[in-house]
Chain A
Amino acid sequence: MEYNPTLPIYLQTANAIKRDIVTGKLPPGAKLPSVRDLAVEYTINPNTVSRVYKELESEGVCFTRRGMGTFVTEDSAKIDMLKKEMAGTLIRDFLEGMEQLGYSRHEAITFLENEK
């Protein structure tokens, strides 16, 4: 995956995993790769991967079973919420961008509706 080197790698990786969770690529209850495997898969530092898992855990998106590994939450409501959160972030980013271009919120919505 392509990283933006000016943003924290752990956040970018966590977001990538969250996307996989909300799109169902990683279904509820699925086992995530081990720290080392994920590090190799994304060619990133294993310490960063540990931080990614800690972040996902603290957000309640994943949980760790001792000696078993890290798993995607089985709480589908949580995943729905995550999906909405991510949509919210996209919309905020969009609106912020439009605002910077000088469009009002109403004009921005019109743009959206006209977009095919």
Chain B
Amino acid sequence: MLKLMKYEFRKTAFSKLILLCITMVVEIVYLLGVFLKKDNLLFIGIMLLTLCATAGILYIGLESINVLQRDLNTKQSYMLFLTPRSSYQILGAKILENGISILLTGVFFAVLAVIDIAVGNYKELWDMLYRFLDMNMNISIDPWMIAFNFFSALAGWITCIVSADLAVILSASVLAGKKASGIIAFIIFIILTTILGMGMDMLPELNSIELTFALDIAVSFLAAAIFYLISGWIMDKKLSV
């Protein structure tokens, strides 16, 4: 399993490296803004860092779907399916590697944000914003809340990718050779995510916010696990490469 994950990482290592390089350049812009007290640079830095974080996390997910697509539909597929490994292991390695990558990228940008905020020394600004929101909109900013929101968004994104994986696998196996298999797979993906979204909305509010988010994340991962098992089963029974 670790060996499979190693090669999954190798397939996407290049774009991850590029993301890291771009982030470093942008970070330098931000730091120059801080230390030279240039508001323009500072502003551009903040904008671009936010963009790097969101686009990066989105891209890492999308790329994994693309890699799966290639691993099922080109000759490259032999590399995986000749190995004495089960479909569950092959797909599991992909999902785990990608999930861990997304989480680590999330943690990386979160830590970077904390550091940058500390370096920037915005205590005054922060307090002002805090009071403003508290008085006018009755919203209290709790760092934990932000963290929970962030990680539940990451969990939701990972689940979304796993459901897209399921659609890709369907189009390469059960729907293979049929007309409009791509479109049918896309519709299946939309239906899956819609059902999932509706299900998530129906989750009860628990008496503590922490528990509500924990439930949210747990349900996301449970859904991902179910999609994974269905996908693995289809690959095992129906996939020809």
Direct contact between A and B in the complex (CB less than 8 angstroms)? Answer: no
Q: B residues within 8 Å of A by Cβ? A: none
Q: A residues within 8 Å of B by Cβ? A: none
